[in-house]
Structure 1
């Protein structure tokens, strides 16, 4: 249920840190690693994440979606599935006012969950090294949510890549379906769910499940998603409990 492999996460850290340090030392790197690092350093969203103090470039995917659809509002309770390294939680904290910084607005709640350790973030409760499908994790999650309910569920999860496209696609769809199952238990009527998936043969299964629970389901590819990536997002709005 990891968002990226640990190796990829370390590369993200290296590339952002390198923006201030001048030319990148590629000695000893494989050709694939070199291509990845060079792409990171030339990526405007990586640079923007550094200058705007976001933990990684994925923050801009959520910012773009929320700017258009306004799913994160002051006072909302948000679950961030696969939260590490915490960029989506950063956006959610800002948008729902979970630090209480803007006293004129209601104060929201942000709970992030990941198999990896998540660096603490003011305004967010993190359940690190925990599995979202574990009943014990679910119990902790419910204890942190006001009235044990959420207004928005976010999922930028992805399995560690196996190198087999169809297998990775199936694994990610299954992760998304587990998030849908969570939504049935904790989402308030009228709530929203945003989940990443990779395009493939099983996407219709996920869409069908979402359509049974939400009034509006649409596919989104934010500008911050790389054009060559199979990454897409389902945005499901107006939850109607069965």
Structure 2
């Protein structure tokens, strides 16, 4: 696969994605379904994902983040939370060389988990039908790690929308903190963390909390994230380690 931001930009500079596609079989579909289909057909990242054999367009968000911040490298151990349909796992496998596609002594390990069932990704260990937020699921991941520490924890998770904005924001923040607590328990020193959330008044608090445990925290909106979407990502780099972070917190307090 080996997709970089530059290759994505080269694709968008060509005319191949500009040809308009006329949606068919719209009869009988709801207005929201029609709008979704029209948006998909007009989205160049959807076409690019198909061309690159990526499972969905969200892969390009992680590609952009990794090209910029270098959160994945060959030989890394990665945990992908909320992985379905597997596009972030595909990127993680490629960039850590977990699929042994490159001749190198640095072979990564990728573990992916999701409540939904999705097809296996070559080079990754996949746990389907498991709710990451449960103690049982996290224990399964720890057992699979078998003493290894993670170099990167990824989360593209989002809760099912209720339509109530405040409740949806609270739910996704709860997911972020669940991922953070897990990452603190299983990460190696200098490990990285990437979490998705929706813009809301609590983002700054999460940034501050991440800053207690990671050297660098950055709020990111990838180019491949739709402009009308409230999603953003927090990229936390270089885990300080619990002992050092807690000691620093006591001094500051």
TM above 0.5, yes or no, is: yes
Return the structure number with greater relative CO, CA threshold 8 A, min gap 6: 1
Query: Per-residue deviation at 1:143?
Result: 2.3
3-state SS in 1 of match to 2:147: helix
1:54-88 Cα shifts (integer Å, max 9, x gaps): 00000000011111111110000000000000000
1:12-23 equivalent positions in 2, closer than 5 A: 23=23
Structure 1 residues not aligned, in runs of 5+: 1-20
Q: Distance in 1 between matches of 2:43 and 2:95?
A: 25
Instruction: Provide the TM-score with structure 1 as the length reference.
Output: 0.88
1:12-38 Cα shifts (integer Å, max 9, x gaps): xxxxxxxxx974211111111111110
Q: Distance in 1 between matches of 2:98 and 2:144?
A: 13
Q: Distance in 2 between matches of 1:115 and 1:240?
A: 30
Q: Does 1:233 align with 2:239?
A: no
In structure 2, what is the equivalent of residue 5 of structure 1?
Answer: none
Larger radius of gyration: 2
Superposed CA RMSD in Å reads 1.5
In structure 2, what is the equivalent of residue 219 of structure 1?
Answer: 219
In structure 1, what is the equivalent of residue 76 of structure 2?
Answer: 76
In structure 2, what is the equivalent of residue 25 of structure 1?
Answer: 25
Structure 2 residues not aligned, in runs of 5+: 1-20, 243-253
Q: Distance in 2 between matches of 1:227 and 1:133?
A: 29
Q: Distance in 2 between matches of 1:119 and 1:55?
A: 10
3-state SS in 2 of match to 1:45: helix
Query: Per-residue deviation at 1:139?
Result: 2.1
- Give the conservation status (yes or no) of the 8 Å contact 1:77–1:146: no
Matched pairs, number: 223
Instruction: Provide the TM-score with structure 2 as the length reference.
Output: 0.85
1:32-181 equivalent positions in 2, closer than 5 A: 32-145=32-145, 147-181=147-181
- Give the conservation status (yes or no) of the 8 Å contact 1:155–1:195: yes
